[in-house]
Amino acid sequence: MSGPKPLPIAVSESTDFSAGVAIGFSASRDASENTAGEDTTKKNEMNTNTMRDENKVIKNTTCYMCACRCGIRVTLRDGEIRYIEGNPNHPLNKGVICAKGASGIMKQYSPARLTKPLLRKSGSDRGDAQFEEISWNRALKLITDRLLHIRRTDPKKFALFTGRDQMQALTGLFARQFGTPNYAAHGGFCSVNMAAGMIYTIGGSFWEFGGPDLDRAKLFIMIGTAEDHHSNPLKIAISRFKRSGGKFISINPVRTGYSAIADEWVPIKPGTDGALMMALIHVLIRDGLFDRDFLVQYTNAAELVNQDQGTSREDEFGMFVREDIPVDEGCFDPPNKLWWDRTMNKPVSARMDGVDPRLQGDYKLPDGTLVKPAFQLLKERVAECTPKWASEIRGIAPQTITRLAHEMGVTVRDQKIEFPIAWTDIWDKEHETITGNPVAFHAMRGMAAHSNGFHAIRALTILMSILGTIDRPGGFRHKAPFPRPIPPCAKTPNGPEGIRPETPLGDMPLGWPEEPDDLFVDDEGEAIRIDKAFSWEYPLSVHGMMHNVITNATRGDPYHLDTLMIFMANMAWNSTMNTSEIREMLNEKHEHGDKQGEYKIPFLIVCDAFQSETVAFADLVLPDTTYLERHDVMSMLDRPISEFDGPVDSVRIPVVEPLGECRPFQEVLIELASRLELPKFVDKTGNRKFKDYPDFVVNYETEPGSGIGFLAGWRGKNGDQFMKGEPNPDQWKKYEENNCVFQYELPKSYAYMRNWNKGYLEWAQRHRLVRYAEPINIHIYSEVLQRFRLAAQGKTNGRQPPNHLRNRIETYFDPLPFYYQPLETRLTDRKKYPLNAVTQRPMAMYHSWDSQNAWLRQIHAHNYLYMSPLVGRDNGFEDGDWVWVESMWGRVRCMCRFSETVEPGTVWTWNAIGKASGAWNLAPNSNEARKGFLLNHLISEELPRQDDQSGRGYGDKVFSNSDPVTGQAAWYDVQVRVYKSESDEFDGSYPQFDSMPAVPGVGKPKTWLKYFAGGEK
Ligand code: SF4
């Protein structure tokens, strides 16, 4: 492989075709050069990480005040941080910094920093926060002894769950090597519906793995996105988009943040997005405003689906009809489907040259099998989903829905983009240009965090696909390592034999089921994981179900754990549903039997940098570092910061020494893995392979000699290779010299149509981003879902669900999207609880991370419940009153504010501003504790027991309050009522908890938080 060709990073704007979106735009230097397929890479302008002048030192690293990972420059004097600014040479933020990023200094010097390992005092209860300081040696020995025993006996009794960390490649590796399946990060309670709904449809999804191409789009539709999601990069992109005259439509119950600058706000009732998407598809199909050519060539829309009921082939009902030809096996769609040729009026091999297939109609194969193109089935599915139908569900005028569909369809039809970039498709057809349909979408948790979110997002992704916008200019574009096959190849073990003492898991702890045989269940069909992910209850729970771990482990369903390790997740507060009861569960003890008096979760390890609410419940506390004190990697093996035009990964390099005895959790994992002699971390004689985490990052390879490691840049002994190459001992130095980022720019001919781009797919295969250079055709119709449905109908020979789950699987594993009312809503007395209640994070704080930040607390120190004035009028209270908010699960007390920017059926608040008294080392009577509140108390992690006779109930058990397909936590399904709190009631928010004392090593809470450079903190 030839070495990368350095280019200055500033080139990216000049290689952009946004100025030449018209047909006939003359070939540019970049287009003509890059069509040769030559690899190029960028090198940053500033070649030193550290710049000195007389009195100060400036160090580059990567921000972690939210998950966007902007490049920052930290200015220090005498070893102290003085200020933080955006790095102008960083490809993600190009020098922009937000309020959070600039306030990192106050996170570093926060009075809530944990500084020492702590052990719960003997005789104290969890929640009392009574700890003694212990040494790291003792802490590590405690954990090692415990984990050695678990690993020798029953590895699944150890569970590792993490929050919004950026090191899942390491934590997942640790769990797999340990041999426990009980591992996941926060995705299951965040936006797994977005990931799964899109990846099971187009092989990629929003945010880290893809997004809207706003430099080229003409129309941008944003749905259910928090006010600062993908903060700086999206703000920069929207700003450019609006300046260039694009139209921005926001579909959201709340008009704040991004929605405030939208040209049009479409207020939507939470949980009804799927109905709107179905109606938009209805109009586009009805009015012929879809991209037929795109659908035919790049999706399975024209492929023929077996529709035989009641014949010998009914076991294949709903599956694609396949030709009887030999095909290679692998995790890709074999090219053996059929089209119906409109000229010859007969079935032919799909994608046969010169064939123009039917998308609509019903046909009979020569053997008598009835078939329909998948698109016909989609058309039938949306036939009843008229704008009027959707309007009755979600309350906006049918004319508005029709107009929105027409705006999308007409923009696609009349404003096509064409660039003179030649490319070759995977079927060896050469194209002289790249074309695009300039309608872009972005959606996130507001759409995902519902029990009907998976199908809503399937509907959105199909809408994007019928508009022909996938990986094309002006539409949705992938970011490496995506696109991936549908579904991606990684699988979990599929039975209890996958877990063995002193043995790594044979497969990944998290994977992508393709059929029932991929589920992780025992012979009775029962769940094997503690969170019940990949079971028949939640088959495609590809990010795990962290929100059910504490409940299941306390209940012993499916079993009790021994040790639960939680990293950077505030499971006793804002990261959990049903917060009050979860706090009680963490303290719950066996009342009978030989374990009487013991905690139901016997050992709880909490690793965090701050004194969160969860720390109070720990048996052992491990003090983590801040992002300014440690090495980190945003790896291609995990969630890198890739751009549309090519892979990008980045690192953090410490700018200051760790405070007190803080240690990076990564170092702790490397240390534990070495002590436990996990195979990938020790040599044949049991000696540790890696000195520390930086050493691990440089030298770890996915397989011996694979050349694939955590970082893609400057690989090979001489640092002249990228993506793949021998470990380079100077790799960290190269990142340090290059703004902590490695950027590789794909040749332009590889940068679009990547699901079908031969050059790209072969490049991706060579660099091990995909296993096969095979087309990744869009799954308008999902055979994966149909396989589960057939199993539930008893029509398959493989695994079938337990009887009590057959109806559930048959209902929700529909190969085409459909709208259904959210599960909790159905079980709620909606006359009593008429309002939807939702949360979002504010721009100034990332979830609970910044309640200790003196600067950001000046922006928010407590939260309100926002609502339409109509709600106050109907319920007899005024703006600013104290009100009760009640769901069927309980009630909280808070202050209300009237707002015209929320649809009248919804109330909302910011998540995680409200705090438990004393937590985060805030004064016990701080506004966060006395005026702030947490809506999570009103949201259950489980659905009400269902005792109906339909077979959809579950005997004596209950279902998680989650999407039945993916296990996505249904945060936004809760329904509430609001009423005035009388003046003689307790003055303050409710509930309140005993104040958490400052733990050893933290220091007393301060009334005034102040920072004096060069002096007292
Ligand atoms: S957007 Fe996020 S990563 Fe970027 S500067 Fe702000 S807090 Fe830091």
Does the structure show a pLDDT above 50 at 946? yes
The pTM score is 0.93
966 lines ligand 1 (CB under 6 A): no
- Which of 62, 63, 106, 740 best tests ligand 1's pocket when mutated (most atoms within 8 Å of CB)? 63
969 lines ligand 1 (CB under 6 A): no
Q: What is the pLDDT of residue 309?
A: 82
Does the structure show a pLDDT above 60 at 952? no
Q: How far is residue 564's CA from residue 549's CA, in Å, rounded to a whole number? A: 9
Q: How far is residue 72's CA from residue 75's CA, in Å, rounded to a whole number? A: 10
Q: How far is residue 450's CA from residue 112's CA, in Å, rounded to a whole number? A: 34
How many whole angstroms from 779 Cα to the centroid of ligand 1? 35
Q: How far is residue 887's CA from residue 938's CA, in Å, rounded to a whole number? A: 6
Share of the chain above pLDDT 90, in %: 85
Tens of pLDDT, residues 578-607:
999 999 999 999 999 999 999 999 999 999
934 lines ligand 1 (CB under 6 A): no
63 lines ligand 1 (CB under 6 A): yes
Does the structure show a pLDDT above 90 at 821? yes
61 lines ligand 1 (CB under 6 A): no
- Looking at the CA of residue 93, tell me the nearest atom of ligand 1: 4
Nearest residue by C-alpha to atom 8 in ligand 1: 101
Q: How confident is the model at residue 17 (pLDDT cuts 50, 70, 90)?
A: very low
| Residue pair 647/635 in contact by the 8 Å Cβ criterion | no
Q: How confident is the model at residue 49 (pLDDT cuts 50, 70, 90)?
A: low
Q: What is the pLDDT of residue 27?
A: 26
Tokens representing 450?
């519902």
| Residue pair 149/135 in contact by the 8 Å Cβ criterion | no
**Residue in 277, 180, 167, 175 with CA at minimum distance from that of residue 221:** 277
How many whole angstroms from 70 Cα to the centroid of ligand 1? 5
Q: How confident is the model at residue 16 (pLDDT cuts 50, 70, 90)?
A: very low
How many whole angstroms from 66 Cα to the centroid of ligand 1? 5
The string of DSSP codes covering 539-606 is: TT-TT--GGGHHHHHHHTSS---SEEEEES--TTTTTSSSHHHHHHHHT-B--SGGGTTSBSS-EEEE
98 lines ligand 1 (CB under 6 A): yes
100 lines ligand 1 (CB under 6 A): yes
304 lines ligand 1 (CB under 6 A): no
Tens of pLDDT, residues 141-168:
999 999 999 999 999 999 999 998 778 9
Amino acid at 502: E
Q: How confident is the model at residue 983 (pLDDT cuts 50, 70, 90)?
A: confident
Tens of pLDDT, residues 475-523:
999 999 999 999 999 999 999 999 999 999 999 999 999 999 999 999 9
**Residue in 473, 373, 358, 463 with CA at minimum distance from that of residue 409:** 463
Q: How far is residue 432's CA from residue 420's CA, in Å, rounded to a whole number? A: 7
84 lines ligand 1 (CB under 6 A): no
116 lines ligand 1 (CB under 6 A): no
Tens of pLDDT, residues 351-396:
999 999 999 999 999 999 999 999 999 999 999 999 999 999 877 8
Tens of pLDDT, residues 164-209:
877 899 999 999 999 999 999 988 888 999 999 999 999 999 988 9
How many residues belong to the chain? 1017
How many whole angstroms from 100 Cα to the centroid of ligand 1? 6
> What is the arithmetic mean of pLDDT over 88-107?
95
Q: How far is residue 618's CA from residue 616's CA, in Å, rounded to a whole number? A: 6
Q: How far is residue 83's CA from residue 68's CA, in Å, rounded to a whole number? A: 19
93 lines ligand 1 (CB under 6 A): yes
Peptide bond into 558 cis (omega under 30): yes
| Residue pair 661/117 in contact by the 8 Å Cβ criterion | yes
> What is the arithmetic mean of pLDDT over 627-651?
95
Q: How confident is the model at residue 4 (pLDDT cuts 50, 70, 90)?
A: very low
Q: How confident is the model at residue 6 (pLDDT cuts 50, 70, 90)?
A: very low
Q: What is the pLDDT of residue 776?
A: 98
**Residue in 183, 801, 750, 197 with CA at minimum distance from that of residue 487:** 197
- Looking at the CA of residue 233, tell me the nearest atom of ligand 1: 1
How many whole angstroms from 231 Cα to the centroid of ligand 1? 7
Higher pLDDT pick, 1005 / 302: 302
Does the structure show a pLDDT above 60 at 31? no
Tokens representing 780?
């308008």
Torsion of CA 63, 66, 70, 72, to 10 degrees: -30
- Looking at the CA of residue 99, tell me the nearest atom of ligand 1: 6
- Looking at the CA of residue 92, tell me the nearest atom of ligand 1: 4
- Which of 61, 62, 66 best tests ligand 1's pocket when mutated (most atoms within 8 Å of CB)? 66
The string of DSSP codes covering 41-109 is: EEE-S---SEEE-SS-EEEEEE--SSTT--EEEEEEETTEEEEEEE-TT-TTTTT---HHHHTHHHHHT
Q: What is the pLDDT of residue 1016?
A: 58
Amino acid at 769: L
Q: How confident is the model at residue 313 (pLDDT cuts 50, 70, 90)?
A: confident
Q: How confident is the model at residue 28 (pLDDT cuts 50, 70, 90)?
A: very low
How many whole angstroms from 98 Cα to the centroid of ligand 1? 6
Does the structure show a pLDDT above 80 at 8? no
Mean pLDDT of the chain: 91
> What is the arithmetic mean of pLDDT over 743-768?
96
Peptide bond into 212 cis (omega under 30): no
Q: How confident is the model at residue 955 (pLDDT cuts 50, 70, 90)?
A: low
- Looking at the CA of residue 65, tell me the nearest atom of ligand 1: 7
> What is the arithmetic mean of pLDDT over 792-806?
94
Residue 707: other Cβ atoms inside 10 A: 17
